[in-house]
Structure 1
């Protein structure tokens, strides 16, 4: 085992697509960080779960749990107004914000496949919509979206979850420092990238460190996390959030200097607890 750093911060996002909140410690299992993405916004007309890819205005809202048992979620809107998930007025404010009739919905069982199904208006329309969310400029490459697994073509998330690819997203300070050195005028605020675990890397670890970990396992506290793929970035990283201004140069730098990727995806293979300050080992 090789120590690669320690946990700098832990994040969960109670509502898919909205800003989240930091935690000092968390339980981790096959569903990822406890309390992460248990709610989502559903487009009423399309009958489809939405993300900040398609509804970037959601990033201007912040969701947090109002109680330790994580049964009540508060949403702070751009106006400063705070309402609870399940409140009809919250649905009205979200509908106005994103410009489409919408409702907040809790996770449904995996057996309710219709709840997770993509809206498709023709065979190619949905794919063109997806490609557009990556906000590429002429000549810039896209991830390989033409050969998505069949399940990703049919559903907006893994059945029984609100995760598209993986329940864990990991980012290192080495990567953020590296990208800042390439584009020092940009605001590389960590919340732009919506990580679950931010790792403060050991001195001497530089560059896009976590991309070298793909295929390996991280041991943190009593848990183990399999690093399985890099994270291609879409237009959401440039969008305005509470306290963060729009910055299109962020995505230009990631596409041209980091092969489109920043951070990695992970799957928990041993459930347990993690805390800020816990050492991180590469197995």
Structure 2
């Protein structure tokens, strides 16, 4: 028996990795994730991608989170926005001046994947409300955690409810219609594991001041894990207002 666990409240994609996201009313989902999500990144001369951390694939580039990005309907023409929200005419020239690096460029994904972890991330309002309660001094909304999907859960849903989804499949649709709820267009996700959080959760971005206490609270309560990661079980469409049913 399918269990309706929530309703899609907001959809986000992040056209340029590590920059601010683009809210959507609906989006197509394929095996890579939401269409256009992290399709572009800031790449340096060594081939590393701009991020909030250093690793084999990524190079820390402070300040990217203060920028915005948007694709709209043009996958091949990403827009970049400065910290004040104004569009940037020449993204490469702007990035080189802004980051004070001459070796960076805005690059489309090729052989090196841009995703940090798995294709789709989901966060519930129950867990987000817990963060607000745990850290009342901080300004908190979902942008802190960069989910693709914010799911509105029923009153009384416990925090970290996402942990109970792992190993199960969920499907999206407008009606409660069993395993094929939402018809042939509805996407399916296979939930795999939690999102491991880093300092980005408390980093400053437009409208959200620096708040390192957020990550500390999550670490103390849940070992830095917050939200769910999923692979795509079936390509399809997700819209605001869709129900998520869990099998």
Q: Structure 2 CA distance, aligned partners of 1:103 and 1:282?
A: 41
* 2:169 maps to 1:217: yes
Q: Which runs of 4+ in 1 moved over 2 A?
A: 95-101
Cα deviation for residue 262 of structure 1 reads: 1.1
Aligned to 2:69: 63
CA distance in 1, matches of 2:191, 2:244: 13
Structure 1: gaps of 5 or more residues: 111-115, 117-160
- Superposition map of 1:241-280 within 5 A: 241-280=205-244
Q: Secondary structure at the match of 2:107?
A: strand
In 2, distance between residues paired with 1:235 and 1:81?
Answer: 26
Superposed, 1:123-134 pairs within 5 Å as: none
**Secondary structure at 2:88's aligned position in 1?**
strand
| Cα separation, partners in 2 of 1:74 and 1:175, compared to 1, 3 Å | same
Q: Which residue of 1 aligns with 2:48?
A: 48
Aligned counterpart, 1:122: none
Question: C-alpha deviations, 1:5-45, integer Å up to 9, x for none?
Answer: 1000011011011001110011111111111111110112x
RMSD value, Cα: 1.5
Q: TM-score, normalised by structure 2?
A: 0.87
Q: Is the 8 A contact 1:56 1:236 kept in 2?
A: no
Q: Following the alignment from structure 1 to structure 2, what is the Cα–Cα distance between the partners of residues 38 and 62?
A: 14
Matching residue of 1:228:
192
SS in 2 for 1:195: coil
- For residues 164 and 245 of structure 2, the distance between their equivalents in structure 1, rounded to whole angstroms, comes to 14
Number of residue pairs the alignment of both structures matches? 227
- 1:93 is displaced (CA, Å) by 2.2
Indicate the residue corresponding to 2:13 in structure 1.
Answer: 12
Choose the corresponding residue for 1:107, options 94, 106, 109: 109
2:195 maps to 1:195: no
Distance in 2 (CA, whole Å) between partners of 1:9 and 1:19 is 15
Q: Does structure 1 retain, via aligned residues, the 8 Å contact 2:67–2:85? A: no
Cα distance in 2 for residues equivalent to 1:97 and 1:252: 30
Query: Partners of 1:96 and 1:246 in 2: how far apart?
Result: 23
Q: What's the CA shift string for 1:136-158, capped at 9, x where partnerless?
A: xxxxxxxxxxxxxxxxxxxxxxx
- The C-alpha deviation readout for 1:182-225, integer Å capped at 9, x for no partner, is 22222221111110011001222121111221111111121210
Q: In the aligned structure 2, how far is the partner of 1:216 from the partner of 1:99?
A: 45
Which position in structure 1 is the counterpart of 2:136?
184
Q: Report the alpha carbon displacement of residue 229 of structure 1 after superposing the two structures with TM.
A: 0.9
Aligned counterpart in structure 2 of residue 205 of structure 1, from 140, 145, 157 = 157
| 2:117 aligned partner | 165
Q: CA separation in 2, counterparts of 1:212 and 1:18?
A: 30
